[in-house]
Structure 1
């Protein structure tokens, strides 16, 4: 007798018997929140008909799936933004060091580069051959550097004495470049490690969130299957 009592559905506002309605306390909380957002008169003692409940269940599942697709898109956007906003550590250290080099340091690099080339070796060998030939054959009435070529030895000693510190200056600049390059490589590797850890954390959080959503969908599907089996 009580089942034949007519009660109004809080969603469609149509009258149904009590057996055709579902009490609000039996509706999933997330679905009830969706109903309450569209129907302010929805309360804990309200009732909803089966058709409206199934419609909101379908809308909830559809919203969950759309949010999943949207979350994947937002994750991609977040990764791109993070890469865009963070400072890029990779840089050309050679240009940076060269821009801060003084005139003397640049000259030392050029001298060291020329002194360690085959061009310098061949050029200097030619100068020695000409020097020795001129003073050995006595093409001049009085050679300016007769054997044993003391002047030549003096020139060679002075050249070696000047060339050694210049080469050391260039080597010091190269060591500075190597040190800066090693520090830059360390920063890049550290940033890459932190980015990978951050990405792993995001993926773990996303997977956990997806499992929660899938569980909620499964619960809704279980309710539908139970109702279908009860009707049979």
Structure 2
């Protein structure tokens, strides 16, 4: 018979959801909006507890309760900011590894293309170019023009086409 699951003393929570929430809080704590709201809250707190009638003041002059609230806020803010920084560091590490592997692939591709270009250059050194062929034909035509006319038509056949005498 299977055992009944044990009851856990600690509450269950989703670490990913908690991490996302901590990042949202850390992002808010780093804004000017937070600083403005915090400053306004403290100013109103102090002004209320200094100038309000004594019967409605809730934190007289040394402002012990204000100090307690600021300490409480700081005690939660610091770990949340650290948690958000750790998550960001993890993301940065993964991104850096992906960048490194992409760079390695790019280097391998570049080396491959460099070898291919070098092979093409070596191959082009052995291929006859249009200018080389043209110069060879010109040399051949000059050589033929300098040779005696062996197959040139005689004076009487000169006016007629090549194959007219064969008909």
TM over 0.5, shorter chain: yes
Alpha-carbon shift at residue 148 of structure 1 (Å): 1.1
TM-align CA RMSD: 2.7
SS of aligned partner of 1:164: helix
Report what 1:75 is aligned to: none
Q: Residues 159-170 of structure 1 correspond to what in structure 2 (within 5 A)?
A: 159-170=73-84
Which residue in the other structure is 2:100 paired with? 186
Superposed structure 1 runs of 4+ greater than 4 Å apart: none
Deviation string, structure 1 residues 82-129 (Cα, Å, up to 9, x no partner): xxxxxxxxxxxxxxxxxxx82211111111111111111110111111
Counterpart selection for 2:41 from 118, 127, 131: 127
Structure possessing the higher radius of gyration over alpha carbons:
2
Higher RCO (Cα < 8 Å, 6 or more apart):
2
Q: Deviations over 1:28-48 (max 9, x none)?
A: xxxxxxxxxxxxxxxxxxxxx
- Which residue matches 1:50? none
Number of matched residues?
125
In the TM superposition, what is the alpha-carbon distance from 1:157 to its structure 2 partner? 0.7
| Structure 1 gap ranges (5+) | 1-100
What's the counterpart of residue 173 of structure 1?
Answer: 87
Q: Which runs of 5+ in 2 are unaligned?
A: 1-14, 149-167
Output the TM-score relative to the length of structure 2. Answer: 0.63
**Are residue 117 (structure 1) and residue 31 (structure 2) matched?**
yes
Structure 1 distance, partners of 2:127, 2:79, is: 72
